[in-house]
Amino acid sequence: MVWGMVRMDIGAEMLIMPRMTEWREADLLLVYMMWTIMMAAMMLPSATPMIWLFARIKRERLDGDRALLATCVFVCGYLVVWTGFSLLATLAQWALLEARLVSPMMKSASPLLSAALLVAAGAYQFTPLKHACLAQCRSPLGFLLTEWRDSLSGAFVMGVRHGAFCAGCCWLLMLLLFVFGVMNLLWIAVLTALVLLEKVLPRARWLAQGTGFALLAWGALVTGRAL
């Protein structure tokens, strides 16, 4: 899709591009697929410590094939949450596009929208909910000790619950893609790295708060320029 945006004069690539306005079912499906793949690519790296520990425990309790199956089910449960988030993001993008607040290039066309998202994401970095969810994501062993279930359905539920904590931690950071550009690969990489570092660095509360201050300042700057 990035390739298609750069080369809109060629023609054939438009088959893999959503329409600029007045989306139909095919356009919604295309953007939904984009968000789903993008969320999986961005969030699975940060879930790797949890998945690895879950798989290790399962290998100690079950034979290889059943342990692998349980791990796959856990990952599927995790991805279900981000698939749901992707649906909401797709609908939000559709609404913002129709309101002319997001450009056809999938980037904010409104300084006030950009400022609102930056300030909201920055403020959320200081909330108890953010830090409660982050604590669950940063402690794979603690999560598994309190949430463990033995069956395959239990593995799925555990994956969903871990995905919910992960979404509670990161959902507003993901919405910043509307500010930076949904298809901006550099910012996708930056946000992926930020989410990963928040979860794996020791005593990373300073990182969440530092990011919050930076986003608040950025949002204030954008607001000042817009007024």
Q: How far apart are CA 93 and CA 87, in angstroms?
A: 10
pLDDT for 182-212, tens place per residue? Answer: 888 899 999 999 999 999 888 777 899 999 9
Q: How far apart are CA 179 and CA 142, in angstroms?
A: 35
Q: Which two tokens stand for residue 148?
A: 């463990």
DSSP 112-158: HHHHHHHHHHHHHTTSHHHHHHHHHHH-HHHHHHHH---SHHHHHHH
Residue 196 burial (C-beta neighbours within 10 Å; 0-12, 13-18, 19+) = middle
The residues, ordered by sequence, that sit 6+ positions from 65 with a Cβ below 8 Å of its Cβ are none
Nearest to 182 by CA among 110, 89, 99, 79: 89
Angle, nearest 10°, between helix axes 128-138 and 140-147?
Answer: 90
| CA 3 to each of CA 7, 11, 14, 16, 40: distance values in angstroms, whole numbers, following the listed order | 6, 12, 10, 10, 21
Other beta carbons within 10 Å of 43: 22
Nearest to 78 by CA among 165, 146, 141, 196: 165
**Per-residue tens of pLDDT for the chain, all 227 residues:** 565 555 555 444 444 456 556 678 888 888 899 999 999 999 999 999 999 999 999 998 887 788 999 999 999 999 999 999 999 999 999 899 888 898 877 889 899 999 999 999 999 999 999 999 999 998 899 999 999 988 899 999 999 999 999 999 999 999 999 999 888 889 999 999 999 999 988 877 789 999 999 999 999 999 998 77
pLDDT for 120-140, tens place per residue? Answer: 999 999 999 999 999 999 889
Q: Which two tokens stand for residue 224?
A: 């000042």
Kindly report the pTM of this predicted structure: 0.86
Task: Answer for the pair 212, 123: CB distance below 8 angstroms, yes or no.
Answer: yes
